Amino acid sequence: MNGVHDMGGMHGMGPIHHEKNEPVFHEPWEARVYAITRVLRAGGGRQNLDNSRHQLELLPPAEYLRMSYYERWLARLLNQIVTNGVITRAELESGHPAPGSLAATLATPAVTAAMIPALVTRRNSARRDGAVSPRFKVGQRVRARNIHPTGHTRLPRYARGKHGVISRDHGVFLFPDTNAAFLGEKPQHVYSVRFAARELWGEHASARDFIHLDMWDDYLERA
């Protein structure tokens, strides 16, 4: 979707604030939001990383820009647990389990403290095995398709319609556009595509600057 999250090349966002000796979390609530999200995500259910990213993109644009990073995570978390029926909106508002709900739902938490070391070191690669032929080869000139999907996509607006060169074939990965919508993994090759900054930004860009984007086969066409 052409959302405000797709920020590459935008102006007016202000200076970069580089905080010296920045803490991992600035407030305890940020740490709790991060941890609750990780733990519930590990508990299973109808979710995946691409869909989770899309949930952030679906926040209203003005809200997205106003919120801090972990405020977005909190908004997503609340949306997800209500949508998935983990808790009801009434419970969220009252802060208490619905009368009579405990006997039915109270269980041992799916993720315990003893499981955390394995959880954080667990590999969950989006790489997929299997014979999928690459449509392009290293050194080949390609064009990023000029497409505007209304759902989740990892093809930034600033690259659409632009010419680049395949610089590396990363192998086969699941496709986020379909995976985010629970429409299947559609495994395909992902390439590092090298774009000249002048191709993307015009003659005022440095001739010695290059932008590399990782792109799936479905994002590319022959130039």
Partner 1 sequence: MGHTQEPHDHDHQAVPSDLTLRVKALESLLVEKGLVDRAALDAVVDTYETKIGPRNGARVVARAWVDPAYRKRLLTDASAAIAELGYVGGQGEDMVVLENGPKVHNLVVCTLCSCYPWPILGLPPVWYKSAPYRSRAVIDPRGVLREFGVELGDDVEVRVWDSTAEVRYLVLPERPAGSEHMTEDQLAVLVTRDSMVGVGKVSLAAVSGGPS
Q: Which stretch binds partner 1 (CB under 8 A): 100-108, 129-137, 180-188?
A: 100-108
Half-sphere exposure (Cβ direction) of 133: Cα atoms closer than 13 Å: 1
Residue recorded with tokens 């990780």? 38
Closest to partner 1 by CB, 12 vs 222, is 12
Q: Which is nearer to partner 1, 110 or 183 (CB)?
A: 110
Q: 188-196 and 220-222 as β-strands: parallel, antiparallel, unpaired?
A: unpaired
Provide the pairing of β-strand 220-222 with 163-173. unpaired
Contacting range for partner 1; rule: CB under 8 A; set: 133-141, 180-188, 210-218: 210-218
- Residue 152 CB neighbours (<10 A): 21
Residues numbered 3-22 forming contacts with partner 1, rule: CB under 8 A: 5-11, 13-22
How many chain residues touch partner 1 (CB under 8 A)? Answer: 97
CA distance 2 to 151: 9
* Among 47, 51, 79, 116, contact with partner 1 (rule: CB under 8 A): 116
Strands 163-173 vs 188-196: parallel, antiparallel or unpaired: antiparallel
Task: Tell me, residue by residue from 131 to 170, as one string, x for binding to partner 1 by CB under 8 A and - for no binding.
Answer: -----------------------xxx-x---------x-x
CB of 182 to partner 1, least distance (A): 18
Least distance (Å) between residue 137 CB and partner 1: 18
Kindly report each contact of residues 43-51 with a partner whose C-beta sits within 8 Å and lies 24 or more positions away, as own/partner: 43/109, 43/110, 43/111, 44/110, 45/84, 45/86, 46/84, 46/182, 47/80, 47/84, 48/179, 48/180, 48/182, 49/124, 49/126, 50/152, 50/176, 50/179, 50/180, 51/152, 51/179, 51/180, 51/181, 51/182
Q: Rule CB under 8 A: choose which of 166, 172, 180, 200 binds partner 1.
A: 200
**Which residue in the set 108, 139, 150, 222 belongs to the binding site for partner 1 (CB under 8 A)?**
108
Of the candidate residues 89, 137, 141, 212, the single one contacting partner 1 (CB under 8 A): 212
Of 33-62, binders to partner 1 (CB under 8 A) are 33-36, 38-40, 43, 53, 56
By CB under 8 A, the residues from 68 to 97 that bind partner 1 are 68-69, 71, 74, 77-78, 86-87, 91-92, 95-97
185 binds partner 1 (CB under 8 A): no
Dihedral over alpha carbons 61, 66, 72, 76 (to 10 degrees):
-40
Rounded to the nearest whole angstrom, what is the least distance from the CB of residue 44 to partner 1 in the complex? 12
